[in-house]
Structure 1
Amino acid sequence: MFGTSGIRGEFGTDVTAGLALCVGRALASDGRGRVVVGRDPRDTGPLLVDALTAGLRECGADVVRLGEVPTPTVARSVEWYDADAGVTVTASHNPPEDNGIKLWSADGSAVVGDEQDDIVERLKRDDYDTKRWDEIGNTRTESNARRRHVDAIVDAVTVDPPLSVVVDVGNGSGRLTSDVLRQLGCEVETMNALPDGEFPSRPSEPTAQNCEGLQRVVAESDADMGVAHDGDADRMMAVTETGRFVPGDVLLALFARQQAVPRARVAVPIDVSMAVQDELSQVGAETTYTKVGDGHVAARTTEHDVVFGGEPSGAWIWPTVTRCPDGPLAAAKLAALVTNHGSLDALVDDVHQVPIRRENIRTDAKREVVERVRAMVADRYENVTTVDGVRVDHDDGWFLVRASGTEPLVRVTAEARDGDRMESLLDSALDLVTTAADTVDAETSPA
């Protein structure tokens, strides 16, 4: 039911008003007395928020409704409004026909582990503590959460001298980034800033391909950099002043290097590039690996010597500020980094990149395919790790096969310090997935 970023799937089949109602009931029945609720711009969001709110109130929880706001605004609002939990109705970077439910703990981090398991078990048991008519929860609307978010970032970041920045909102919830940067003194041009849950301007995920428009605008202007968000603005990706898309691993290396000190650690998922460790080793710091998913990265940042956490997909966590991925904060942090060093192009060129490629294979049997790959590699390779999918390490590189936690995909990553070797490892991994998928199809097809 829960993936790496909460519940997510096609509205009406995987994600329904009935499910939202039950999630609300489960949260309140587990003792959450006050819950903040927000959503991204998807057309189905208001309906799901209404159902979720009904479930919360039915079991006695008070609800603070934030309206359409970025996911990190919801996570931060848990503390601001003295709540016990937060919920964002969002499918993040997924297509418009999808929606989802992401849960936030009392400390503003994503719900994972035992806390998530308790909710799942209650949902499976259909076990809810519904209240009498005179004991139901109250509801109120707060309209200043967005402003509090802007003010919090402006208080935490300085951009001096200010920059010229292009912000591609992607028709999502991230338009407050332009407010943040303007208050920090920057000159800002926005793209695709009108919220629209159908994401008409570009697909929601801020990949290099989907950000080609941003790259052109920045390259043809005098802007110092460009930033792009996904639908709920927990992710932030960047474009240099010459219009180059910055790979997520490089952006992670830049943020990590800025935060690191000797003997510090940076939390990263198991699919991150060796380039991050290369950069950290120069300052005497190191990586600590987690499962893929910002919740797992955030959980690791609770350890005292972990100073930063990030994923190459665009989730960045500064644990002394907030333990949720915060796209607007990341945009401001990147602007500060650029203004201190003069050029994002120069910063990117300073990171020694290691050849790495990521491919996706669509399948409705993603977990069965990965399990089949696990069985196939068990006797074929010596160094196999199964903490999250199947990772095979060699002396000169590695590949990883894992099921996406948010989409019907098997994700394949390969890396090696030599480009040809990387391609060879990727081909090996793709062959394994193809063979596994064919086997699973044959086993499940009618005779």
Structure 2
Amino acid sequence: MRKFFGTDGIRGLTNKVPMTAEVAMRVGMAAGAHFLRGGHKHRVVIGKDTRLSGYMLENALVAGFTSVGMDVVQVGPMPTPAVAMLTQSMRADLGVMISASHNPFHDNGIKLFGPDGYKLSDADEMQIEALLEAAPALAEPAHIGRAKRIEDARGRYIHAVKQSLPGSVRLDGLKLVLDCANGAAYNSAPTVFWELGADVIAIGVEPNGTNINDRCGSTAPALLQETVVASGADIGVALDGDADRLIVVDEKGSIVDGDQIMALIGASWARQGRLKGGGVVATVMSNLGLERFLEGEGLRLERTKVGDRYVLERMKAGGFNVGGEQSGHMILSDHATTGDGTLAALQLLAELVRAGRPASELLHQFDPVPQLLKNVRFAGGKPLDAPAVQAAIAVGETMLDGRGRLLIRASGTEPVIRVMAEGDDAGEVEQVVDMICDAVRAAAAN
């Protein structure tokens, strides 16, 4: 059982275990010791978003890494995909991103990347967990690591992202509202789009340590919707706190989620002969409408469990180059080793420029089927194992057979059962979800 690592690194409320300075220092010691391989001088790249607690955790991690003999390169506030890219390009042994992604400022997290720029495997995380409980092997005084801050990291990332587009593609004449969630991309993302010719209206670019994701960004798109419509913009893009995901708003203010973005990029790349693997990889949460759309295009949808790391694992195993999550994580493996909201937005905007059509026409590739997700919190035990719950699930599957899909899973981070159903009949979907939720509540109460 995992004690520290969840589906996306280590995450929690700041100054509460596991998100304390003490644990962060131990993570630095353990992860550093795990990646001290070979006789070369070892190096770790550390980036962060704009949370107030980032200073505390960064210094604790630096202490941990240097104490076991690793040099540290600090790059300051940078998107998660930038840390992955810099880890690989700087030939580092390890990359660390300090961020709780789309969570409020009072949470924080630690994400780890291997020397190849990919998130760590389950096996690596379990080995680091074991080292967290062991006495650290501290370096001799002469071999303690050094820490250095580099100032041109942002420019390196901006250049790399722009390189994902052909030199002939420009965004001249495109009016774009960009919401950076007062997060890690507040400085880099507006520059990327401006340098490519777009007329950028930037919001969520005044971080103060406590306003990250606060009524802005990909999880709170109301401000973006209002700004797009009020300014007469062609399109709006919202990133989350660490800029590894995006949500898009068309010129009418309608939200475009990750499923629609995958449909557009997947189908377009297939027509251009650029799509690999014969389809797209997404999680079990992606809408049935996406699956049906791709089938109509002669493509397939490969599903994984929730988490962009599992999407990427399937992409690597099956040779796919487009994958993502409904929530907006987009992995375009020809250009990046992890989700990158800025890069995905560029690919989407390039399609918009090529098509010469309004975003409201181009970005709504399919009609999603009715989908309903409800969470049931429980105090303890295993309510999913109760016979009454299993019977309710069987009834729900029978009701949706051939017309929809049912997904029930326990959260990996909190005592919650998530019940999701989708199908062509919205009333039937709601009936199935409510029936199963009632059974779970009854089982949890016994």
TM-score, with normalisation over the residues of structure 2? Answer: 0.89
Tell me the residue number matched to 2:418.
Answer: 411
Tell me the residue number matched to 1:6.
Answer: 9
Q: Conserved in 2, the CA contact under 8 Å of 1:93 and 1:204?
A: no
1:315 corresponds, among 324, 329, 336, to 329
2:268 corresponds, among 249, 258, 264, to 258
Give the counterpart letter for 1:180 in structure 2: V
Return the offset for 1:374: 4.1
State whether structure 2 residue 252 is matched by structure 1 residue 242.
yes
Tell me the residue number matched to 1:293.
Answer: 307
1:150 corresponds, among 138, 153, 158, to 158
Q: C-alpha separation between the residues in 2 aligned to 1:407 and 1:72?
A: 27
Greater CA drift, 137-146 or 311-320: 137-146
Tell me the residue number matched to 2:442.
Answer: 435
State whether structure 2 residue 359 is matched by structure 1 residue 344.
yes
SS at match of 1:134: helix
1:373 corresponds, among 373, 377, 384, to 384
SS at match of 1:119: helix
SS at match of 2:142: coil
Give the counterpart letter for 1:247 in structure 2: D
Return the offset for 1:112: 3.0
Greater CA drift, 184-193 or 152-161: 152-161
Q: C-alpha separation between the residues in 2 aligned to 1:330 and 1:382?
A: 39
How many residues of Structure 1 are paired with residues of Structure 2 in the alignment? 426
Return the offset for 1:407: 6.0
State whether structure 2 residue 341 is matched by structure 1 residue 331.
no
Return the offset for 1:333: 1.5
Greater CA drift, 110-119 or 10-19: 110-119
Tell me the residue number matched to 1:178.
Answer: 190
Return the offset for 1:66: 0.7
Return the offset for 1:281: 1.3
Return the offset for 1:120: 1.3
Change (3 A) 1:7 1:246: same
Q: C-alpha separation between the residues in 1 aligned to 2:339 and 2:212?
A: 25
Greater CA drift, 314-323 or 302-311: 302-311
Tell me the residue number matched to 1:117.
Answer: 126
User: Percent of aligned pairs with the same residue?
Assistant: 35
Q: C-alpha separation between the residues in 2 aligned to 1:383 and 1:264?
A: 35
Q: Conserved in 1, the CA contact under 8 Å of 2:8 and 2:111?
A: yes
Residue pairs, 1:90-129, within 5 angstroms: 90-124=99-133, 126-129=134-137
Q: C-alpha separation between the residues in 2 aligned to 1:360 and 1:80?
A: 42
Return the offset for 1:205: 5.8
Q: Deviations over 1:127-175 (max 9, x none)?
A: 4221111111121111212111111111112544531100011211122
Q: C-alpha separation between the residues in 1 aligned to 2:277 and 2:12?
A: 41
Tell me the residue number matched to 1:131.
Answer: 139
Q: C-alpha separation between the residues in 1 aligned to 2:15 and 2:47?
A: 20
SS at match of 2:366: coil
Tell me the residue number matched to 1:388.
Answer: none
Give the counterpart letter for 2:52 in structure 1: D
Q: C-alpha separation between the residues in 2 aligned to 1:403 and 1:196?
A: 35
Q: C-alpha separation between the residues in 1 aligned to 2:180 and 2:298?
A: 37
Q: Deviations over 1:230-267 (max 9, x none)?
A: 11111111100111111333233223333345861322
Give the counterpart letter for 2:354 in structure 1: N
Change (3 A) 1:225 1:137: same
SS at match of 1:108: coil
Q: Conserved in 1, the CA contact under 8 Å of 2:25 and 2:64?
A: yes
State whether structure 2 residue 59 is matched by structure 1 residue 47.
no
Return the offset for 1:98: 0.8
Tell me the residue number matched to 1:223.
Answer: 233
Tell me the residue number matched to 2:39.
Answer: none
State whether structure 2 residue 205 is matched by structure 1 residue 169.
no
What's the Cα RMSD here? 2.4
Change (3 A) 1:73 1:212: same
Q: Conserved in 2, the CA contact under 8 Å of 1:262 and 1:285?
A: no
Q: C-alpha separation between the residues in 1 aligned to 2:34 and 2:392?
A: 46
SS at match of 1:83: coil
SS at match of 2:81: helix
Return the offset for 1:408: 6.3
SS at match of 1:306: coil
Q: Deviations over 1:186-222 (max 9, x none)?
A: 1100012112331277346623xx2111101101222
Give the counterpart letter for 1:238 in structure 2: V
1:422 corresponds, among 420, 429, 445, to 429
Q: C-alpha separation between the residues in 1 aligned to 2:276 and 2:213?
A: 44
SS at match of 2:177: strand
Q: Conserved in 1, the CA contact under 8 Å of 2:393 and 2:436?
A: no
Change (3 A) 1:214 1:194: same
Q: C-alpha separation between the residues in 1 aligned to 2:440 and 2:81?
A: 35
Q: Unpaired segments of 5 or more residues in structure 1?
A: 386-391, 440-447
Greater CA drift, 272-281 or 319-328: 272-281
TM-score, with normalisation over the residues of structure 1? Answer: 0.89
Return the offset for 1:304: 4.6
Return the offset for 1:183: 1.2
SS at match of 1:95: coil
Q: C-alpha separation between the residues in 2 aligned to 1:263 and 1:66?
A: 35
SS at match of 1:96: coil
SS at match of 1:216: helix
